[in-house]
């Protein structure tokens, strides 16, 4: 049997994640624990990551994997980055603002990524050599997406995750250079993750604070759509850090 391509493997992984997450979403017997940092993790988070690692072990046994629940394993230039359920707070509360984030990087550069939000029926994905796409409902024809060509920071549309008033003082200070520039979109105006809105062309810049697995798949889709992602150095104490997603045209 022919081995799946990287994109086919992303689709297989997303199918597994969708199946397992929807099976226990809004279930009365969903088991949930609290991590040391006070954030929740469900047994479904752990199950999905384990199943995805088994899938990758079967088809890409020599690749490295970074996962939210089981850490960094393996070595090599090719690395899969897994966030089995991003937005677990929403997931365990029965909300819809959650999804599975899966990325492939080579030598630290995004090659392919998948973001699946099955409670909304939507998926975004992209590859460096094939472009970026979205489906707005299961079975729909994929729609090509791309970033804008806006180059003026005075005219740009931008947002942040978390919103500005939810950032800590040091994080807020990092974004002070954006004060008064362009138009800031509040959460009430979001249609999905702000970085994906950059990929779709409804934002020109998005700043997100999180861990590496929170950023990688979103960045891969943005890059596939013609944009850029830039990371701040990761803090040694595991605090969240900044990733900046842009259309690649903004000056200054």
Q: Where are the domains of the chain?
A: 6-144, 157-246
What pLDDT is attached to residue 248? 97
Instruction: Please give the DSSP secondary-structure letter assigned to residue 156.
Output: -
Tens-place pLDDT, residues 191-234: 999 999 999 999 999 999 999 999 999 999 999 999 999 999 99
The model's pLDDT over 33-71, given as tens digits with 9 standing for 90+, comes to 998 888 899 999 999 999 999 999 999 999 999 999 999
For 67, list phi and psi in degrees, rounded to 5. -130, 150
**Cα-based distances in Å from 151 to 46, 82, 110, 207:** 42, 33, 23, 17
DSSP per residue over 41-104, as a string?
Answer: EEHHHHHHHHHHHHHHHHH-TTSEEEETTTEEE--SSEEEEEEEEE-HHHHHTT-S--EEEEEE
pTM for the full model? 0.97
pLDDT tens sequence across 159-184:
999 999 999 999 999 999 999 999 99
Each residue's pLDDT tens digit, 69-97: 999 999 999 999 999 999 999 999 999 99
CATH architecture group of domain 157-246: 3-Layer(aba) Sandwich (3.40)
Angstrom distance (rounded) from CA 17 to CA 116: 8
Fold of 6-144: Fructose-1,6-Bisphosphatase; Chain A, domain 1 (3.30.540)
């Amino acid at each position: 049997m022919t081995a799946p391509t990287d994109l086919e493997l992303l689709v297989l992984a997303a199918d597994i994640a969708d199946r397992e997450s929807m099976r226990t979403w809004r279930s009365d017997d969903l088991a949930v624990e609290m991590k040391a940092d006070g954030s929740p993790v469900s047994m479904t988070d752990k199950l999905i990551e384990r199943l995805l690692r088994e899938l990758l072990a079967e088809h890409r046994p020599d690749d490295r994997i970074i996962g939210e629940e089981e850490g960094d394993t393996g070595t090599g230039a090719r690395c899969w980055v897994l966030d089995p359920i991003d937005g677990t707070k929403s997931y365990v509360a029965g909300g819809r603002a959650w999804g599975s984030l899966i990325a492939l990087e080579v030598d630290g550069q995004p090659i392919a990524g998948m973001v699946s939000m099955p409670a909304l029926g939507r998926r975004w994905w992209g590859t460096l050599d094939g472009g970026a796409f979205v489906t707005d409902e299961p079975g729909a024809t994929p729609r090509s997406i791309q970033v804008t060509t806006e180059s003026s920071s005075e005219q740009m549309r931008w947002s942040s995750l978390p919103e500005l008033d939810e950032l800590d003082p040091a994080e807020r200070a990092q974004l002070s250079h954006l004060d008064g520039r362009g138009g800031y979109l509040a959460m009430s105006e979001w249609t999905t993750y702000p970085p994906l809105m950059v990929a779709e062309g409804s934002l020109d810049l998005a700043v997100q604070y999180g861990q590496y697995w929170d950023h990688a798949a979103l960045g891969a889709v943005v890059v596939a759509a013609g944009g850029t992602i830039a990371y701040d150095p990761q803090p040694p104490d595991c605090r969240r850090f900044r990733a900046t997603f842009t259309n690649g045209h903004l000056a200054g």
